[in-house]
Structure 1
Amino acid sequence: MIKGYIFDLDGTLLDSLNVWDNVGNRYLQSIGIQGPDDLDSLMEHMSLQEAALYMKNTFVLTQSVNEVALGITYIIEEAYEKSIPLKIGARKVIEKCFDKNYQIVAFTAGSVELATKALMRLNLFHYFQNIYSCQTCGYNKTEIESYLTLVKSMNLKVKECVVVEDALYAIETAVNAGCYVKAIYDQANQKDWDKICGIAHEHYESFIEMEDRI
């Protein structure tokens, strides 16, 4: 019996992945360094703190890891505060989960602060019992412990939790953790979509299709 939903944010609830495009190089350029064109792909599966550590070590930055993370955050913060839209149909899905008394939490590879700002601006924050990040739970989304930690904090069993995600690597991890996974299409996962459809328990082109399956 399903009792809770774990929603990813970027690329799932929020149409925000373009905001993160090339953000590593945009930060490096702000401090006078030109990074490689493939920096985005190299950091694709990293949390914000992991990306900051990678950049500090790779480019021998004088800034601390926290300063790098803050610099990246500053670049994208305005978009979360003012402009990133919600995916079409996502509000109704969240409202339906709430009406059915499911626990609702968010799990982001970014920062809790940014997630909170976006959800508050979109008038969705009050639906969520908690917002988790890879940093706060202590694991990234390639580690099954990340989802197991969230499920435990919700006082649920893994079979009682649905994970809604767009990224192939996170979908694989959530499935391996034992969660029921609903995949949502995003332009960024187009190249992985066929594989995602073969792994996720359910897959949807949009939240509009998902609404009747909550």
Structure 2
Amino acid sequence: MTQAFKGVVFDLDGTLTDTEAQANHAAMAVLADMGVEGDMALFESLSGIHDIERRAILHRALAAQVDPDDFLLAWRARIDQQRANGVPTKPGAAALLQTLKDKGYLLALATSSYRTMALEKLAKAGLEGFFDVIVPVDDVQNPKPAPDPYLLAADRLGLKPVECVAFEDSETGAESAFTAGLFTVQIPDIHPASGKWANIVAPDLTEGAKAAGLI
């Protein structure tokens, strides 16, 4: 790469933390406890979708089988139990963040989680302290796939979108970053990448950073 980037903006779930699949399996277990045969495809379809919309989708999908609010409370409790001893990270996540920090890049997080939840996951994953800016879903009027989260992240870093690289796993997140004008590296997690919303599709964080010329 010949372009000189100054900032790097990361998604959280499925990109830095290995939380998407963990949460989906927890959901299936909770439904089984409630006597309902769950549909994994439903939960996998929520990848990259912000928390507010997730709740609405699940209310519509589950209302005929269980009380959606009871399910959501039980799901939250199951996830909290799983994460009591830490949140799993994607291979190379902490090392890459440290390397980028050492190289002088400004780092931001653009997540579809609420701020309190994002901060909790970062702390339990051992990834707190790396980011100059955090943009949770609370801070934007139009969440991913709209470009707003990445536009705001770049603005808060004091950079133009074209001066930043974005790391995303989902199509929803990649669309948000790509349409905002960031150089987008997509690392598929649950679903394969179409490549439509990515400058680079990579197998992992380290390879993506190398391909983007960051390390």
Q: 2:179 aligns with which of 176, 189, 195?
A: 176
CA apart distance, 1:21: 1.0
AA aligned to 1:209 is: E
Moved more, 82-91 or 53-62: 53-62
Report the count of equivalent residues: 207
1:158 paired with 2:161, answer yes
Q: Structure 1 regions of 5+ residues with no counterpart?
A: none
1:149 paired with 2:152, answer yes
Counterpart Cα distance in 1 of 2:27 and 2:51: 10
Does structure 1 retain, via aligned residues, the 8 Å contact 2:47–2:170? no
1:53 paired with 2:56, answer yes
Going from structure 1 to structure 2, the CA distance change for 1:41 and 1:117 (only over 3 Å counts) comes to closer
1:200 paired with 2:168, answer no
CA apart distance, 1:87: 1.5
AA aligned to 1:52 is: R
Give secondary structure in 2 for the equivalent of 1:127: coil
- Residues 35-69 of structure 1 deviation map (CA, whole Å, 9 limit, x = unaligned): 666432554453112222333455558787xx876
CA apart distance, 1:127: 1.0
Q: What's the Cα RMSD here? A: 3.0
Report the equivalent of 2:129: 126
CA apart distance, 1:103: 1.7
Report the equivalent of 2:207: 209
Report the equivalent of 1:140: 143
CA apart distance, 1:124: 2.2
Q: Structure 2 regions of 5+ residues with no counterpart?
A: none
Greater fraction of residues in helix: 1
Give secondary structure in 2 for the equivalent of 1:50: helix
Q: TM-score, normalised by structure 1?
A: 0.77
Q: TM-score, normalised by structure 2?
A: 0.77
- Residues 104-139 of structure 1 deviation map (CA, whole Å, 9 limit, x = unaligned): 122222333333233223432111123322233232
Report the equivalent of 2:94: 91
Counterpart Cα distance in 2 of 1:155 and 1:69: 38
CA apart distance, 1:71: 5.1
Does structure 2 retain, via aligned residues, the 8 Å contact 1:93–1:210? no
Counterpart Cα distance in 2 of 1:27 and 1:47: 21
Counterpart Cα distance in 2 of 1:165 and 1:116: 18
Moved more, 136-145 or 79-88: 79-88
CA apart distance, 1:28: 5.9
Going from structure 1 to structure 2, the CA distance change for 1:63 and 1:179 (only over 3 Å counts) comes to same
Counterpart Cα distance in 1 of 2:198 and 2:39: 33
Does structure 2 retain, via aligned residues, the 8 Å contact 1:25–1:39? no
Counterpart Cα distance in 1 of 2:122 and 2:139: 18
Counterpart Cα distance in 2 of 1:119 and 1:178: 26
Q: Percent identity?
A: 23
